[in-house]
Amino acid sequence: MRALIQRVKSGKVSVDAKSVAEISHGLVILLGIGPGDNEEKASFLAEKISSLRIFEDKDGKFNLSILDQGGAAIVVSQFTLYADTRKGRRPSFTEAAPPEVAAPLVEKFADFLRIQGVPTQTGVFGAHMLVEIENDGPVTIWLEK
């Protein structure tokens, strides 16, 4: 399981010109599901992300988590995080989990974030999404479990 986390001032996901998720500040989490990923990994990453200290305190130091800040999250399924570009010019996505495996794990991951206390919205699995990210910092963190 791979997560690309971006600290944002705002984030929005639209499908067919209709907003499906929107936050004012917090995290936009691009989540890739690979073979062998399971609920245990989803739970681990959700707990890690919810307590990750990547927000600044009054002294400008990374000492606060999304929970400390009262922020929200948007989770966007992103199979392209499993792109293999070692050969040729076109990425291969054979390492990404198939939709019937990935879709429920993306939802479970979002549920685990909610259980941690993070208000969480999601994009639409399998849809062509327009993801608007106003990266704050910029702060972008890569996590893999």
Give residue-wise pLDDT tens across range 54-107: 999 999 999 999 999 999 999 999 999 999 999 999 999 999 999 999 999 999
In this prediction, residue 85 carries a pLDDT of 94
Q: Would residue 78 show up in a list of annotated catalytic residues for this protein?
A: yes
What is the C-alpha to C-alpha distance for residues 34 and 30, in angstroms, rounded to an integer?
13
Determine how β-strand 26-32 pairs with β-strand 72-77: parallel
Exactly one of 6, 44, 55, 80 is catalytic; which is it? 80
In this prediction, residue 129 carries a pLDDT of 98
Exactly one of 44, 55, 62, 79 is catalytic; which is it? 79
pLDDT-derived band at 50 (thresholds 50, 70, 90) equals very high
What is the C-alpha to C-alpha distance for residues 132 and 76, in angstroms, rounded to an integer?
11
Overall average pLDDT of the 26-36 stretch: 97
Exactly one of 6, 55, 78, 109 is catalytic; which is it? 78
Q: Would residue 125 show up in a list of annotated catalytic residues for this protein?
A: no
In this prediction, residue 32 carries a pLDDT of 98
Q: Would residue 122 show up in a list of annotated catalytic residues for this protein?
A: no
- State the pTM of this model: 0.96
Overall average pLDDT of the 21-50 stretch: 97
Q: What's the mean pLDDT when you consider all of the chain?
A: 97
On whether the CB atoms of residues 138 and 6 are closer than 8 A, the answer is yes
